[in-house]
Structure 1
Amino acid sequence: MNVHDAFLHGDLEEEVYMTIPSGFWASGLNKGVMWLYVLIYVDDLLIGGKISGAIYRFKEYLSECVKMKDLSHLKYLLGIEVAYSSQGIDLSQRKYTLDIVDECALLVSWPFDTPMEQNHKLQIDGDGPYADPGQYRRIFKRLIYLTVTRPDLSYVIHILAQFLKKPQVKHWEAALRVVRYPKGCPGQGLWLSANRDQTLSAYCNSDYQSCPITR
């Protein structure tokens, strides 16, 4: 939902709870309780829940309080594209990815199959400082947000973060390689299946000896 003239309704006299108040559960809550989840970004609201009727009634209530526009099912929010099917929901950042590629002037370049060169030596001093550290940091920030739907970039982003203070030319080139990696599959993202449990498994291979920075 989108709030009309959100900035004209800035004064708030009511008491707002960002977390459940102490003692709330002891106030006679019955077993028929249902949960609604509301994500607010400036004048946009994303409302979720398991019971569509409850969401509809909540939308009606909000519209009585403040003038709003119902945008129906979520399709695009904060650079994240949402596609629905009977099998589940697909989240991707295709447009956001291509915007990063365009900003780096890499639209006509070939994509890489991997985000980082194997056995890289980015930690070792080499070819001198990069002339525009601010540009390096900006692209780095944009790549961080891309990990929302591309967790496969998490490791390489962690490596690039180590050089934010004084990036070298080779660090900028490594960042451009990361940009060219999702260019080959900009629509790839997260698949949330409707038919299986969404359990996240994580693995870590700690090797402090081989990293000259962290060892």
Structure 2
Amino acid sequence: MDVHNAFLHGELDEDVYMKLPPGFQVSQQGLQSPKDHSLFSLRHNSVQLVVLVYVDDLVIVRNDGTAIQHFKEYLHTCFHMKDLGRLKYFLGFEVARSPTEIFLCQRKYALNIITETRVLGAKPVATPCKENHRLGSAIGSLLSDPSIYRRLVRRLIYLYFTRLDLAYSVHMLSQFMQNSRIEHWQAALRVVHYLKGHLGQGILLPRENDLRLYGWCDSDWASCPLTRKSITGWFIQLGNSPISWKTQK
């Protein structure tokens, strides 16, 4: 849903106090997520309702069609809103669904990265990172304009939300935001070349699921040439669906 409102740009001299709307107060039924303050959930008997708020856009998830209709009607009495129907695109995330599964990806966002870096005509590569790279001990020239490297890495960080195959590469590249060298820029471009051949990767959430958690982890030993710290990666699945992953020094 989209809220039609006007944003005023100016300084406020008054203190502004806000409270959650009815039904979403912090209690046993309504709850604001401590991890993401824009995520709200309501559980009452068998009804579950989850609302994600981003500025003037709302994503609503429910297990009961009647409950969501009542909630939408209530919102319409409070704000001038537009119902955009089933979720298809939100903040760069594309949502495709069938009766048996939901697929999340950022194909258009990845294509924008490829276009911006001007590698549409380049040859794709099979892996996002070279084996046995030495990015930590690179001695090449510093980039004359490091802002282009920082912008690209920031965009890759956002893309990594649905691309667990980028976890290690993004982890490595993000360590050189302050002292970006030519080797780091070339490594970042390699990730973009990899995206060119793997645009459709994403997260598949099948309806049939055994609801069991599976965890996988791996670590090296003192691989960082500068700090001699190890790097650990982990990956969590709910059934066959990836739900959490990270690479960390």
Give the TM-score normalised by structure 2: 0.76
Of residues 147, 154, 179 in structure 1, which corresponds to 2:192? 179
CA deviation map 1:13-33 (0-9, x unaligned): 65228x853xx339xxx9725
Q: Distance in 1 between matches of 2:215 and 2:227?
A: 21
1:140 aligns with 2:153: yes
Query: Quick check: 2:138–2:183 contact (8 Å CA) kept in 1?
Result: no
Once the 2 structures are TM-superposed, how far is the Cα of residue 198 of structure 1 from its aligned partner? 5.5
Once the 2 structures are TM-superposed, how far is the Cα of residue 96 of structure 1 from its aligned partner? 0.2
Query: Quick check: 1:6–1:43 contact (8 Å CA) kept in 2?
Result: no
Q: Distance in 2 between matches of 1:58 and 1:39?
A: 14
Once the 2 structures are TM-superposed, how far is the Cα of residue 185 of structure 1 from its aligned partner? 2.0
1:32 aligns with 2:35: no
Question: Hey, which of these two has a bigger chunk of helix by percent?
Answer: 1
Unaligned runs of 5+ in 1: none
Once the 2 structures are TM-superposed, how far is the Cα of residue 120 of structure 1 from its aligned partner? 0.7
Aligned residue type for 2:5: D
Query: Quick check: 2:101–2:206 contact (8 Å CA) kept in 1?
Result: yes
Percent identity reads 47
Q: What is the aligned partner in structure 1 of residue 7 from structure 2?
A: 7
Number of matched residues?
A: 208
Q: 1:59 to 1:123 in 2, by over 3 A?
A: same
CA deviation map 1:143-162 (0-9, x unaligned): 00001110110111111111
Of residues 48, 67, 74 in structure 1, which corresponds to 2:61? 48
Query: Quick check: 2:137–2:226 contact (8 Å CA) kept in 1?
Result: no
1:102 aligns with 2:115: yes
Q: Distance in 1 between matches of 2:44 and 2:106?
A: 39
CA deviation map 1:105-130 (0-9, x unaligned): 01111111100011111111322111
Q: Distance in 2 between matches of 1:84 and 1:101?
A: 26
Q: Distance in 2 between matches of 1:181 and 1:189?
A: 14
Of residues 152, 173, 182 in structure 1, which corresponds to 2:165? 152
Of residues 224, 234, 238 in structure 2, which corresponds to 1:211? 224
Q: What is the aligned partner in structure 1 of residue 89 from structure 2?
A: 76
Q: Distance in 1 between matches of 2:227 and 2:106?
A: 32
Query: Quick check: 1:208–1:214 contact (8 Å CA) kept in 2?
Result: no
Moved more, 143-152 or 126-135: 126-135
Moved beyond 6 Å, runs of 4+: none
CA deviation map 1:47-90 (0-9, x unaligned): 00111221111111101111111100000000000001011100
